[in-house]
Chains A and B, each alone.
Chain A
Amino acid sequence: MSETTVTPERPITVEEREVKPGFVGTNVPRKEDARLVQGQGVFADDMRRHGMGYVHFVRSPYAHAQITGIDVSKALELEGVYGTLTGDEVAIQTDPFFELSTPPGSEIKDYALAVGKVRWMGEPVAAVVAATRELARDAAELVEVEYEPLPVLVDAEKAQDVEAPILHDDAGSNVVWSGEFDWGDFDAALAEADRVVKIDRLHFHRFSSTPLECSGCIVEYERATGQWTLFGNHQMPGVGAIWMAPALRVGIDKLRFVSHDIGGAFGNKITLHPYFVACCLLARKLRRPVQWTEWRTDQHMANTHGNERTFLDIEVPVRSDGTMLGFKVRAIDDCGAFPRYEPLGCIIWAQVTPGCYRWRHVRVDFTQVCTNKSPVAPNRGYSRMQQLWFTERLVDIVAHELELDPVEVRKRNYIRSDEMPYETPNGCVYDSGDYALCLDKALELIDYGSIEQRREEAATRGKLLGLGIGSTLDSGTNNFGQSMILNPELQFSGNNEVATVKLDLFGEIVVTLGTVPQGQGHETTASQVVADILGCTPDDVHVRPGHDSYWNSHAGFSGTYASQFAVTGIGAVKGATERLATEMRQLAAAVLGCAPDDIELAEGQARMRENPEAALPFMALGAIINANNAGLPQDLDVTLNCRYVYRPPFEKPDVERKYGNLTLTYANQVHACVIEIDGETGVYEIVDYAAVDDCGHRIHPQIVEGQVHGAMAHGLGAATHEQFPYDEDGTLLTANFYDYHVPHALDMPPLKTDYVESPSPFTNYGAKGMGEGGGAGIHAVCAAIQDALRPLGGPIVTDSCNPPNRVWELIRDPEAARAGVAVESA
């Protein structure tokens, strides 16, 4: 007979604890921090397994070449080498990865290692496994590969030329996907306009977020069951498994993905499947765990980059007062050697088709092509950042050419708060927001009123001062149905996320997330939600760090990407916790002999509302259901282990019209940037900077603000230095941090922040996903440079990356920098 049997007559009294309700919306201490500040996080390279071997990839020194022979014999002779893997083996043992595109992109054959041909410099050609890291690299040097070089394609604008080398013979074309988007009535807008601003070319450059932890994994193969365990830093294992399992010809449950801490991902760890499959094959072949760590130069040369996009033949119909009616553009997107996550970027941009503006008439001719560069993948602000940069450039170029104030043009064209929820020309619904208010706050932070005075003062020091604004959207919670607009055959739509919340034997509340966090503080924010619902403190809630697909708490779209945790992750946690709360009340009611509605959860107890003395501590509930359940009513259907799948309310889009709601929430940020340019050298300094964020109700304001800081730093880095340019031979010119300059602490300007809270009508807590920031820093810096150089002949900023050399060129030859822009009377 157990001592813990509880009856209403003998309630257990527990020590009174201070319980502060309402944790959501407050800055509770981050649960993740204690281990991370002590160096006790567990990252991909921190794991060890008995008898494991280290993998080193042999990479192509050519951007485009036939492989005419691979000889691994010398590598195998080296003592300490366990084995090798080549493209021939991969082609026999696996099927090509699933392609998302319609033809011609669907015909591309993508494997874990190069098969027959290499298509970018750094592409893995073979792999070697050895007893130590150093030996594996020694052995990789002994693998002899013979190549026959082929002509190289690096310019996406030339990819469709007749004489262009073709990367994928199976596809017969370098085009992955192309399509027309036509919303509203662009011809009518032209007729209605007073002026048409024409821009020949705008170019959004290639870069990535370069997470400080590179990719990696340990893969173990269990021969008894044919199951692989992949401990690594894949940020979207659900989708990773969709690629990997068919390629490996196994069921999806044969792939167990585990992650603990991830040192940043930003989208760059979504397409690790080729490397992971190579490791799976090696683990099976060599009958031992294998460990792969990517180094920085590997990451730059051969992991993922953000999409490079060129906007051509742009037309913007404008009224004399600065009202812009829409735009027409031909966009060419460069996805590098293989599409992988693409061509999703060919539709993702349409989540923010008109940016923050009331433009109704849009015509876009969009083509995505392959080139001999590293493949792309989502990168913080995936595909929308390019589009938002484009819309912000349109506003600033129109203002410049019509001699209007960019602030006034923005306000005239912004979607107004009283128009929310607002349906865009392609059927997306902007849920809430007050862009003009955000702009006003940003301008106030940088003391907009004094700008002209500061401009004059700077001029006395020989400096050109300029102000730039970047207004952006952070569209979160994808409707994967948008993929059907690209390829109606695809069977993807909606979205989902999973959480499991249980009350364990000793009363411990255990939360299991489907998300795969990389620093966003999910353990903390989940615990806030759980604590509020269960009437306890976040300290009472244990959120399991990381992810394990064997926890069975994930679904097809699980992961951390596309600004969605505050909606999907929190939605799942809330749903699961409410289920648990219901069960706890049912159990307590059964034990205490009352109705579930008579029970309240508070102060770590389930107690009778009318008689708080009649209470069961959580520990008692956990113990009863798990270990002391005799005598409970037979019809009491309670497990205290509740799984919930959050599913946002989406419809399938209208594929014919390419129309529908592609995202659930739209956070927005407005940045204002003041720069000073040294007119002699083109060197510039950001002297004042403000960012105002509106992501609806903030669950943890400090975490939100941290995301704003980080997104701003990424924007500034990309605007000033970070770029992945290739020379004509397909050599990456910024192969590591020697040449790829990431902002350090001295590079960062003083940063001022403020916020607005426009709750989303569509979500729990009125929260919106946020964190990507839409590249606002890039837009603001481009605009500020253009503004500063107005006195020097008005050069137009047409590229998203403007290091000092480029600014100097704008100064030296403003006419050339204006040549592609014209204003015509309509």
Chain B
Amino acid sequence: MLLREVEYARPSSVAEAVELLADNPNARPLAGGQTLINVMKARVASPEVLVDLNGLEELKGIELGGEGTLELGAMVTYSQAMSSAECRARPILGEVAAQIADVQVRNRGTIGGNICANDPTNHLPPLLVALGATMTIVGREGERTVPADDFFLGVYMTAAGPGELLTTVTVPPAKGAGDAFASVTIGRDGTGIVNVAASVNGDSRLVVGCVAAVPVLIRPGSTDEDAVREAVHRAGLDPPSDVHASADYRRHLAEVLAARAVEQAAGRRRS
């Protein structure tokens, strides 16, 4: 509770938002606020300016392209992703969104906020890496796209740097891929201890969350359980040890959950 002093602006366009962000290196975009406001309550971070994105309709779109490419505005909430007909093109999105926190958080929390916060236990960073999504980032200099693999830089840090704004998350067509998400959480649907996202289609993309500052992408050569476990083992994960889980336990869970996620994803694959 009880934030430090802060200034507030509610731009009416992305361009205006980018100007506000670029004007002050200590300005931060305010999306759903379900992470940022809490960090500010703890006074761990104290941005000087909050640029509220909630008025930007252009960031709230969900579009399904003819070929099955899904474009999600950064301000799409988890609840919207869960109920969106377009999102059913990639059902794993709604399935995972439904596991995030609780109803109230899902009503406010946004896809863009989830990945830009990149809390190591967040659900969407490993999922979007597994799906091979790309992120569109706008800055004063213009627009660029960054593959999910390169987007996550650290806890609370992504390729969308100061003065920039994530606008769109583009999820490629499923093309028959099977997707799955497996996790062990603190309590039912709680904070992740380890989570694993898998997308299987020819080559498998397996991504482990909660074990490092950024999601860890592993490409097991096959969907065979032993091969998957071996690939995770060889990845040499160095997860944190904390009150919820030892590093050993997290390493073990990464293998178990990877095997489960890949098995489920393979089962969901449409050949």
What is A's interface to B at a CB cutoff of 8 Å? 133-134, 136-138, 141, 295, 297, 680-683, 720-721, 723, 725, 733-734, 738-739, 741, 743-744, 746-747, 803-805, 808-809
By the criterion CB–CB under 8 Å, are B249 and A808 in contact?
yes
Instruction: Tell whether, in the assembled complex, residue B187 and residue A133 are in contact, meaning their CB atoms are under 8 Å apart.
Output: no
Contact B1 A681 (CB under 8 A): no
Chain A proximity of B147: nearest CB distance (Å): 31
Of A137, A681, A723, A747, most buried by chain B (CB within 10 Å of CB) is: A681
- On chain B, the residues within 8 Å of A297 by CB distance are 42
CB <8 Å contact, B186 and A680: no
Interface residues in chain B, defined as those with a beta carbon under 8 Å from any beta carbon in chain A: 1-5, 42-43, 102, 184, 186-191, 193, 242-246, 249, 252-253, 256-257
30 A-B pairs in the complex with CB atoms less than 8 angstroms apart: A133-B2, A134-B2, A137-B43, A138-B4, A680-B256, A681-B184, A681-B256, A681-B257, A723-B243, A733-B243, A738-B191, A739-B243, A739-B244, A741-B187, A741-B190, A743-B187, A744-B102, A744-B187, A746-B187, A747-B188, A803-B186, A804-B184, A804-B193, A804-B245, A805-B244, A805-B245, A805-B246, A805-B249, A808-B249, A808-B252
The reply to whether A734 and B189 form a contact with Cβ atoms under 8 Å apart is no
Give the residue of A136, A681, A743, A746 whose beta carbon is less than 8 angstroms from that of B253.
A681
Contacts A137-B2, A733-B242, A804-B193 given; does A721 touch B249 at CB 8 Å: no
Q: In the complex, what residues of B have CB within 8 A of residue A744's CB? A: 102, 187-188
Determine the chain A residues whose CB is within 8 A of the CB of B256 once the complex forms. Answer: 680-681
Given A680-B256, A808-B249: A721 and B187 interface contact (C-beta under 8 Å): yes
User: Which A-B residue pairs are the 7 nearest by beta carbons?
Assistant: A733-B243, A746-B188, A137-B2, A805-B249, A741-B186, A805-B245, A134-B2
Known pairs A134-B5, A138-B4, A805-B193. 19 more at Cβ < 8 A? A133-B1, A133-B2, A134-B3, A137-B43, A297-B42, A680-B256, A681-B184, A681-B256, A681-B257, A682-B249, A721-B186, A733-B243, A738-B191, A739-B244, A741-B190, A744-B188, A746-B187, A805-B244, A805-B245
Residues from chain B with a CB closer than 8 A to the CB of A133 are 1-2
Q: Is the interface of A mostly helix, strand, loop or mixed?
A: loop
Query: Residue A725 contacts which of B1, B243, B246, B249 (CB distance < 8 angstroms)?
Result: B243
The complex places the Cα of A734 from the Cα of B186 at a distance, in Å, of 13
Which residues in A have their C-beta under 8 angstroms from that of B184?
Answer: 681, 683, 804
Nearest-neighbour CB distance to chain A for B74, whole angstroms, equals 25
A295/B187 in contact, CB under 8 A: no
The interface residues of chain B lying within 8 Å CB-to-CB of A683 are 184
Smallest beta-carbon distance A45→chain B, Å: 11
How far apart sit A723 and B186, CA to CA, in the bound complex (Å)? 13
Which residues of the partner chain A approach B253 to less than 8 Å between Cβ atoms?
A: 681
Q: Which residue of B lies closest to A134 (CB)?
A: B2
The complex places the Cα of A809 from the Cα of B115 at a distance, in Å, of: 33
* Min CB–CB distance B2 → chain A (angstroms): 4
Closest beta carbon of chain B to A789's beta carbon, Å: 16
Rounded to whole angstroms, the CA-CA distance of A133 and B1 in the bound complex is: 9
CA distance A297 to B252 in the complex (A): 32
CB of A141, distance to nearest CB on chain B (Å): 8
**Chain B residues closer than 8 Å to A734, beta-carbon distance:** 243
Q: How far is the CB of B262 from chain A (nearest CB, A)?
A: 15
Q: How far is the CA of A765 from the CA of B252 in the complex (A)?
A: 57
Complex: how many Å from CA A681 to CA B258?
A: 12
How far apart are the CA atoms of A138 and B102 in the complex, in Å? 32
* A803 to B245 Cα, complex, angstroms: 9
Contact assessment for A747 and B3 in the assembled complex, using a CB-CB cutoff below 8 Å? no
Among B2, B3, B5, B186, chain A packs the most CB atoms within 10 A around the CB of B2
How far is it, in angstroms, between the C-alpha of A682 and the C-alpha of B248 when the chains are bound? 13
A683 to B243, CA, bound (A): 16
Least CB separation from A296: chain B residue? B1
Residues of A within 8 A of B188 (CB): 744, 746-747
Q: How long is the Cα–Cα vector from A747 to B190 in the complex, in angstroms?
A: 10
Chain B min CB distance to A394 (Å): 28
A residues within 8 A CB of B249?
682, 805, 808-809
Q: Please indicate the chain A residues that have their CB under 8 angstroms from the CB of B245 in the complex.
A: 804-805
Q: Say yes or no: B187 contacts A747, CB within 8 Å.
A: yes
Q: What are the residues of chain B within 8 A of A680 when measuring CB–CB?
A: 256
Bound-state Cα–Cα, A746 to B187, Å: 8
A620 vs chain B, min Cβ distance (A): 54
Task: Return B190 CB to nearest CB of chain A, in Å.
Answer: 6
- A734 and B256 CA atoms in complex are apart in Å by 27
Cα-based distance from A133 to B190 in the complex (angstroms) = 31
CA distance A80 to B193 in the complex (A): 44
For the complex, give the distance between the alpha carbons of A138 and B252 in Å.
Answer: 44
A743–B242 Cα gap in the complex (Å)?
Answer: 20
* Most interface-central of B102, B184, B187, B242 (chain A CB within 10 A): B187
Contacts of A137 in B (CB 8 A): 2, 43
Task: Give the docked Cα–Cα distance between A295 and B5 (Å).
Answer: 19
How many Å lie between the Cα of A656 and that of B42 in the bound state? Answer: 52
B117 to chain A minimum Cβ distance, whole angstroms, is 14
A136 and B2 CA atoms in complex are apart in Å by 9
By a CB distance below 8 angstroms, the chain B residues around A805 are: 193, 244-246, 249
CA distance A110 to B102 in the complex (A): 42
Least CB separation from A135: chain B residue? B2
B253 CB to nearest chain A CB (Å): 6
| Residues on the B chain within 8 Å of A747, using CB | 187-188
> In the assembled complex, how far is the CB of residue A207 from the closest CB belonging to chain B, in whole angstroms?
12
Q: Which of B1, B242, B246 has the most CB of A within 10 A?
A: B1
With both beta carbons as reference points, the residue of chain B lying nearest to A54 in the complex is identified as B2
Bound Cα distance from A682 to B191, whole angstroms: 17
User: How far apart sit A733 and B5, CA to CA, in the bound complex (Å)?
Assistant: 28
User: Given the complex of chains A and B, what is the CA–CA distance between A141 and B244 in angstroms?
Assistant: 31
A137 CB, nearest partner CB in chain B, Å: 4
**Min CB distance, A287 to chain B, in Å?**
25
Give the CA-CA distance A137 to B40 in the complex, in Å: 13
Complex CA distance for A808 and B244, rounded to whole angstroms: 12
- Determine the residue in chain A with the shortest Cβ distance to B4: A138
B252 surroundings in chain A (CB, below 8 A): 808
Partner of A295, one of B1, B242, B246: B1
- In the complex, the chain A residue whose C-beta lies closest to that of B191 is A738
CB-CB under 8 A for A803 and B1, given A681-B253, A681-B256, A747-B187: no
Q: How far is the CA of A734 from the CA of B184 in the complex (A)?
A: 19
Given contacts A803-B244, A805-B244, are A746 and B1 in contact (CB under 8 A)? no
Query: How far is A808 from B252 in the complex, measured between Cα atoms in Å?
Result: 10
Cα–Cα distance between A744 and B104 once the two chains are bound (Å): 14
B43: chain A residues within 8 A (beta carbon)? 137, 141
CB distance from A680 to the nearest CB of B (A): 5
Chain A: CB-nearest residue to B242? A733
Q: Which residues of B contact A136 (CB under 8 A)?
A: 2
Residues of A within 8 A of B5 (CB): 134, 138
Give chain B residues whose Cβ lies under 8 Å from the Cβ of A804: 184, 193, 245
The minimal Cβ–Cβ distance linking B110 to chain A, given in whole angstroms, is 20
Give Cα A329–Cα B249 distance, bound, in whole angstroms: 33
Q: Determine the distance from Cα of A133 to Cα of B252 in the docked complex, in whole angstroms.
A: 46
Q: How far is the CB of B34 from chain A (nearest CB, A)?
A: 13
Q: How many angstroms from the CA of A721 to the CA of B193 in the assembled complex?
A: 13
Complex alpha-carbon distance, A725 and B191, angstroms: 18
Cβ of B243: which chain A residues have Cβ within 8 Å of it? 723, 725, 733-734, 739
